[in-house]
Structure 1
Amino acid sequence: MDSDSIGGRIDFNTKKPSSINGKLFKAKIQNNFSQYADENFNPKMSITYGEKLSDTFANILAVTYSSKDIVAYNNETGFGWEDGLMNDDYEMRFYELTRERYGLSYDADLLVSEGRVFLSAFWNQYDDAELRWKDEYGKIKLIDGTETATSMQTERIRHDAETRVRYETRTLSAFTFGFEGMMGDWIIDPKISYSFAKEDDSDNADVTFRNDMKDTVGTIEWSNPQRPTITPSDTSIYSPSELGFKELEITENVSKDSEFAFSVNAERETDLGTLKVGFKSKNREKDVDDYIIVYEADMTMADFDPQTLDWQFAGQTFSQQANPDMIYALRNQLDSLSVDFSNDYARDFVTEEKVNALYIQNTYTWDKGVIVAGVRYEDTSTESQAFDQDGNQVFAGSDHSFFAPSINIKYFLDDRLQLRGSIWKGLSRPGFKKRLLSLIMIMMREI
């Protein structure tokens, strides 16, 4: 396992073509149901076809498609309770997400005298269409002397009603070419691979409407702390005509992540057990282009065909929300709005990481147990570029090496009992965004 794999990693495994005889055909169709989803048709389909074209060559092609509709009704209370009273921020949220997945994979094997040459490729695309309605009550302020064990009166509530429409596309692809077989007394598996991922979140619209009410606003009750209720003294807090247009936020985020890697492992039997050695080199680049613009307008929610949701929790009032089609249509009416804020560089960055690693491991087995001991050494260099708060381009980099020994022992007390012990050292790297911030802070201190 790579030293930076602590915390988990994803590997896509497909069927080896050399394992089939003749022809392979498999088709699968299933449907899933959701308690709250309006759409009851959530198909998952796949077709796999493989054929052994000769004594030495075989291939497999697979196509998959799935679609599911996810609906969620949430209560969220910020950071928890304060001194036994209601937190100053409370939200009810409704989500409806439709996710479609398209997949294609191809595998080919060519048998040679000492092993097999293989090619593996896959491509996946995920299309998300999401509606989020958020009904938020913030700036809650206790009126002294009104608190009980499960309720309080508040002299202020800032009511935000937010409609967000989002269409996002993510693609994943990987290609691997390699060999598995014998070279003298060694079993070897050299391979080269290229993978690419892209996330495009550039098709969205997010509008917040706000009504900030003060004086004696109402009572908040939390006898059920998972589902608090608000009883306003002035029900106009829910009125669409009183919920003013605060902002329209549009983001354009495109994130690209690519990696080229070469690896080789070798294994052979010796008098001291099974010896394994290996080398891996990978070059990864992440490129993020993130743009945000915020618009203002002199309108209210009443101008956006307010919708009433059938909220699932009794006793709670979920405010009317703007028609999502009309919110999304604002993308074609931007000339009629005024720009409040925009930024096209603050969250942009490019990071390149190069890792070279070597390892050696030996497995010794005897009638009473197993000992697996090894060591891994890797060298990592990172180069990043981004922008500071003034929009100036900045550069940062780091170089470090890591030595990771490991020993695992298994001892059999009898046929039913065994003792296990291990000593190891691992490495878990933060994500590129967190690492970038650290590198830039170091660079600024040096300046």
Structure 2
Amino acid sequence: MTKPAFNFKMVAPLAAAIISVNAAAQEAPEKQSELMETIVVTAQVANARSDIERQRESNKVVAVQTSEAIGELPDANVTEALQRMSGVFIARDQGEGRFVGVRGIDPNLNASTINGMSLPAPETDSRAVALDVIPSDLLASLEVFKTLTPDMSADSIGGAIEIKSINALDQDGETYKVTVENGYSELQGENSPKFAGTYTNKFDLGGRTLGVAVAASHQERNFGSENIETDGVWEEFTALDGSEGVTAAEIEQRDYTVTRERTGLAANFDLEVSEGSQLYLHTLYSDFSDDEERQRNSFKLDEENDDPDTISASSVTWSDAALEKELKDRYEEQEILSVVAGGSHDMDKWGVEYAVGFSHAEESEPHRRDTTFVQEGLELGYTRAGKIPKMFAADTSAMDAASYELDELVVEDNYTDDEEVSFRIDFRRDIDVAGHPSELKFGLHERRREKTGDLNATVYDGFGGDFTLADFASNGVDYGLGVFGPGVNKGALNAFINANLGSFEIDETSTALDSARDYVMNEDISALYVMNDIDFGRANLVYGVRYEATDFSADGYRVAESGEAISGAEEIAEDVYVNAVSYERDYSNLFPSVNFKYDYSENVVLRAAYTESLSRPSFGDLNPSAAEIEYDEGELEVAAGNPALDPYEARNFDVSFEYYADSLGMFSLGAFHKQIDNFVVTADVASTADYSMYVGSLAVEEAEIFQPINGDKATLTGAELSWTRGFDNGFLLRANATMTDSEADLGLGADAERGNKITLPSQADLVANFIVGYERDAVSLRLSTAYKSERLLEVDLEDEAFDLYEDDHMQLDLSAKYRFENGMQVFFNAVNLTDEPFYANRRGYNGQYEEYGPAYVLGVTYSTF
């Protein structure tokens, strides 16, 4: 797929136009005074001003959003709040924002901290934290640092996300806020209640001040989605009648019904011992649960025949195909606990800060059930390809529940645990450098992290009778993307399973293959740094170096299905062998950095920075235990990790121009360039893999083996624009855009079947936001648009035409509020007004298409501040 090259020339006209708008705000003094008097009283403008001032004063390139600004938008969690900031995009799961990317880069290449301490990830595979588990009601501010200083962790190529929870010392005495709301999902027709509250107070303890802040939030969200996706790849086929074309061998229709609950608690205690001396204890607990029911039709087109009967550009027909109907009944719970205790003390020219932190994240998936019914010997296919394939079944029995036999039940109990203990101590000393005041800072940071996975599956294939879908059929599945046919009744099926599970026959081979996935990974990081912050009056220079030593180990299992014994392996089921595997590696890095800031005038700030950083591969990519091994009559499918992966390493260059109007107005233009080594890409490595690792001596005729590999080098170049403008008529405009262009070398060599050059995986060329706000008297309105261009998700090493791309996404949201004089506020939010779907494709052919529908929220808030 050819992508347009990035051109900085397209930025110039927009930059000139925006600067001219801001310059027009520099009117006569009396006119400026009138404008200030008009707009400063509005909450939207005051919040925007606070964000801008914090950005201006920072010695790094940063985007800031305070809790008050977050509250102006219809964002229910941290992820969705972050998407409004310059250079930030989000990856969605069933319409909700979950993971955060910065400057178009993969979310796994960012670092997330809360109250200064690293945040662990409850997901089995991810290093990136799904920040939707943290309700936005618990926040004081969000900061996205795009350049680093040596006192910050170096594990961030995209950006470092700092989450700060509420602090009572920042408030005026006793305050409280209570919110009650109800949401409505148009697709499912379900209600979603939510309750939230915060309380802060300051207590005089005889010359010492204790600040206490408590926040709580609970939401139950009922929603769903409709999906059609391809399992595997699209490829060239020659049909039995001689026709040629492109098709996939398996396509799935999916219908989801989901209940998500979020509970968040924060309790922060800050003690001002004396002027310049503070102690603190900050705690945050978040519980996220996802109760999901998924109805699925799997059109297994090549079940018996290797080739279709007929094929064209938009249709295909297969005979002797199979149609599977499956119910996934899954409850998943994630918990995050963060506890940070520390203090800071100023002692004349010396100062010291210290903190010890404990973070714990876990994910449990108890008693998950996947039940499959199958009907074989059908004539199946589609009459339309493209974004939404139109599936068909020529046999009327496809609509008959009694024609589907109960084929398989998989019961899983999966648990993941991620725990980190950290300590940091930082010293600072005021010194003069050539007559200029400066601060010398140095310190020690230690992190000890352990991530474990306990993954268990039991596969049943005998049920003591000939049961069919008719014994457990539902009345029908409300599915708008095609004809679905009968579904599975969850209640009737679970009653049958609960009463008879002990008598079912276990498939020992599949159970063994699916259960040998446990792992333990340890990652210990020790860091030392020194830096100097020099104030030249109108200029500021921060420079220094950070040293990080990483000690990584991974323990897991290698499992194989084989007709012969495998040396050194234990046979855990008939023809299934497993042996323990361990990997260890140590590496260390030096990270120099320079951040320069120059106040060219009262209105203009110039910045330049050079930093070096790294990003360690995700835990799923490093997992030594294969996530999936399926072998059937010569066909092998594998999804595996690669613990030998090297970390990404990056050299980062940044320059920026920032213009701040005397009245509310700001424009910034920045450029950045990143040189990245060892980038990671998931690829089908079947052409170079050793099949015996998975099937021993068994014959393999066709194979798909997906595994992460290190590419060679990659570059990413981009520009960021951000603009804010307040008007005396009550309007507030905010816009930002990040444009990037990347090139990565797969390092496959001259004999590769495909080209070596790709875009950086998960990189989006354009990320943009546009917000129109209006506030007058008691009325406040905000209309916001978030846009993300397409990005590469998966590489096909044999044919680049079938690389998987996520399509561009643009979402329109609305927030409206009315404030009463007694502190009460009524609000209405509308999310995804244009019903924007998720779409991923391979050369225009379906990869995944999913619709969520709009959602609406009506609520009331009462506060004393």
Corresponding residue to 1:82 among 225, 235, 241: 235
Provide the rounded CA distance (Å) in 1 between the counterparts of 2:319 and 2:479.
26
Aligned to 1:94: 255
2:320 aligned with 1:320: no
The structural deviation recorded for 1:138 is: 2.0
Q: Is the 8 A contact 1:75 1:226 kept in 2?
A: no
Corresponding residue to 1:136 among 273, 292, 298: 298
TM-score (norm 1): 0.88
Provide the rounded CA distance (Å) in 2 between the counterparts of 1:253 and 1:413.
57
Aligned to 2:74: none
Moved more, 15-24 or 432-441: 432-441
TM-score (norm 2): 0.47
Q: Is the 8 A contact 1:85 1:151 kept in 2?
A: no
2:454 aligned with 1:289: yes
Gaps of 5+ in 2: 1-151, 237-244, 560-569, 571-577, 625-641, 647-692, 694-865
2:188 aligned with 1:37: yes
2:589 match: secondary structure: strand
The structural deviation recorded for 1:419 is: 6.1
2:471 match: secondary structure: helix
The structural deviation recorded for 1:413 is: 7.0
Q: Which amino acid aligns with 1:107?
A: N
Spell out, residue by residue over 1:366-387, the C-alpha distance to the aligned partner (whole angstroms, 9 max, x if none): 4675443221101121233333
Moved more, 428-437 or 128-137: 428-437
The structural deviation recorded for 1:319 is: 2.5
The structural deviation recorded for 1:201 is: 0.5
Q: Which amino acid aligns with 1:255?
A: T
Corresponding residue to 1:258 among 411, 419, 438: 419
Q: Is the 8 A contact 1:153 1:219 kept in 2?
A: yes
Structure 1 residues 111 and 37, CA gap change in structure 2 (3 angstroms): same
Corresponding residue to 2:196 among 33, 46, 67: 46
Structure 1 residues 332 and 354, CA gap change in structure 2 (3 angstroms): farther
2:173 aligned with 1:5: no
The structural deviation recorded for 1:219 is: 5.1
The structural deviation recorded for 1:268 is: 4.1
What's the C-alpha RMSD, in Å, of the aligned pairs? 2.8
Q: Which amino acid aligns with 1:135?
A: N
Q: Is the 8 A contact 2:457 2:515 kept in 1?
A: no
The structural deviation recorded for 1:199 is: 0.9
Q: Is the 8 A contact 2:299 2:380 kept in 1?
A: no
Provide the rounded CA distance (Å) in 1 between the counterparts of 2:479 and 2:197.
40
Provide the rounded CA distance (Å) in 2 between the counterparts of 1:248 and 1:423.
55
Provide the rounded CA distance (Å) in 2 between the counterparts of 1:406 and 1:137.
54
2:388 match: secondary structure: coil
Q: Is the 8 A contact 2:384 2:391 kept in 1?
A: no
Count of residues in Structure 1 that have an aligned counterpart in Structure 2: 436
Q: Is the 8 A contact 1:205 1:327 kept in 2?
A: no
1:319 match: secondary structure: coil
Spell out, residue by residue over 1:80-117, the C-alpha distance to the aligned partner (whole angstroms, 9 max, x if none): 54345332221111111101112221111111124111
Aligned to 1:230: 391
Q: Which amino acid aligns with 1:285?
A: E
Provide the rounded CA distance (Å) in 1 between the counterparts of 2:164 and 2:404.
52
The structural deviation recorded for 1:221 is: 1.3
2:351 aligned with 1:151: no
Corresponding residue to 1:278 among 429, 433, 443: 443
2:519 aligned with 1:336: no
Q: Please list, as runs of the form range in 1=range in 2, the aligned pairs for 1:85-124 lying within 5 A after superposition.
A: 85-113=246-274, 114-124=276-286
The structural deviation recorded for 1:193 is: 0.8
Aligned to 2:288: 126
2:343 aligned with 1:179: yes
Spell out, residue by residue over 1:27-52, the C-alpha distance to the aligned partner (whole angstroms, 9 max, x if none): 11222222212322x12221222222
The structural deviation recorded for 1:152 is: 3.0
Greater RCO, 1 or 2 (C-alpha within 8 Å, sep 6+): 2
Structure 1 residues 441 and 345, CA gap change in structure 2 (3 angstroms): farther
Aligned to 1:311: 479
Spell out, residue by residue over 1:246-294, the C-alpha distance to the aligned partner (whole angstroms, 9 max, x if none): 2101111111111111112233443333433222101111121111100
2:177 aligned with 1:26: yes
Provide the rounded CA distance (Å) in 2 between the counterparts of 1:265 and 1:308.
63
Q: Please list, as runs of the form range in 1=range in 2, the aligned pairs for 1:351-370 lying within 5 A after superposition.
A: 351-366=521-536, 369-370=539-540
Corresponding residue to 2:610 among 417, 423, 430: 423
Provide the rounded CA distance (Å) in 2 between the counterparts of 1:233 and 1:15.
61
Provide the rounded CA distance (Å) in 1 between the counterparts of 2:427 and 2:538.
27
Gaps of 5+ in 1: none
Moved more, 119-128 or 178-187: 178-187
Provide the rounded CA distance (Å) in 2 between the counterparts of 1:370 and 1:19.
27
The structural deviation recorded for 1:9 is: 6.0
Spell out, residue by residue over 1:137-162, the C-alpha distance to the aligned partner (whole angstroms, 9 max, x if none): 12256556x43432233324321111
1:430 match: secondary structure: coil
Q: Which amino acid aligns with 2:455?
A: D
Moved more, 88-97 or 407-416: 407-416
2:331 aligned with 1:167: yes
The structural deviation recorded for 1:345 is: 5.5
Structure 1 residues 415 and 111, CA gap change in structure 2 (3 angstroms): closer
Provide the rounded CA distance (Å) in 1 between the counterparts of 2:444 and 2:431.
20
Structure 1 residues 8 and 246, CA gap change in structure 2 (3 angstroms): farther
Q: Is the 8 A contact 1:398 1:439 kept in 2?
A: no
Identity of aligned residues (%): 29
2:155 match: secondary structure: helix
